[in-house]
Chains A and B, each alone.
Chain A
Amino acid sequence: GDSVTQMEGPVTLSEEAFLTINCTYTATGYPSLFWYVQYPGEGLQLLLKATKADDKGSNKGFEATYRKETTSFHLEKGSVQVSDSAVYFCALRPLGGTSYGKLTFGQGTILTVHP
């Protein structure tokens, strides 16, 4: 079945450091790929998405590129801020079939950014 694997956390960085959170997936065909973020006390919010190979999703300085050849969707940000401290989830949604939008998630990566 479909699966998503994220890098082990937690990740601790200083402000303005470069961030990479690795995400790889296993799926049939060409799923859509997502990064969700959960700030303390809030729900999961969509951060960015990509729906086909080589698409780059971007939002709030974060980027991720859909790499079919490596089945990856790594999240990057050039300069993190304290306000980026949150839990980040990589997820996929199958293309077609009988899926009613079911998302398959990775385990989440806790990011803490220190001033």
Chain B
Amino acid sequence: EPEVTQTPSHQVTQMGQEVILRCVPISNHLYFYWYRQILGQKVEFLVSFYNNEISEKSEIFDDQFSVERPDGSNFTLKIRSTKLEDSAMYFCASGPPGTPKNIQYFGAGTRLSVL
């Protein structure tokens, strides 16, 4: 069964460093999302991406964050200068063509630890 793949499973970085979290969505999907979950808190929406542009973003998704679909298969989340409070589990999701209101398929997540 097709699945969303995220790498790495755990990323450790120093505060102020740039990180790129990588996701390979399901191949025919057209809608892409990033969510995050700080330990002990709710899963929070960060951004949605469709037709090579951001379609919606949350207040969390400030100038330090960016997303890209560089080659038609990968979907990346970049954090330019990490802060301690960026430590969280980051989930990528993708949705099939037709409507953004289709089911979203999630990856297993990347745990980001900022030291």
Contacts and interface: CB of A to CB of B under 8 A. Distances in A.
A115 interface: no
Interface of B: 3-4, 6, 31, 33, 35, 37, 40-45, 48, 50, 55-56, 58, 91, 93, 95, 99-109
A112 to B, nearest CB: 17
Interface of A: 4, 32, 36, 41-46, 49, 89, 91, 93, 98-108
Nearest to B55: A100
A47 to B, nearest CB: 11
Contacts of A103: 33, 35, 43, 45, 104
Contact of A44 (B42, B50, B91, B102): B91
A77 to B, nearest CB: 21
Contacts of B109: 43
Contacts of B35: 103, 105
Given A42-B108, A43-B3, A106-B42, A101 B102 contact: yes
A101 B101 contact: yes
Given A44-B91, A93-B101, A108 B43 contact: yes
A66 to B, nearest CB: 16
Interface centre among B93, B95, B102, B106 (most CB of A within 10 A): B106
A98 B56 contact: yes
A50 to B, nearest CB: 13
15 contacts: A32-B101, A36-B106, A43-B106, A44-B93, A44-B106, A46-B104, A89-B43, A91-B43, A100-B55, A100-B100, A101-B33, A101-B100, A102-B33, A102-B48, A103-B43
Contacts of B55: 100
B41 to A, nearest CB: 6
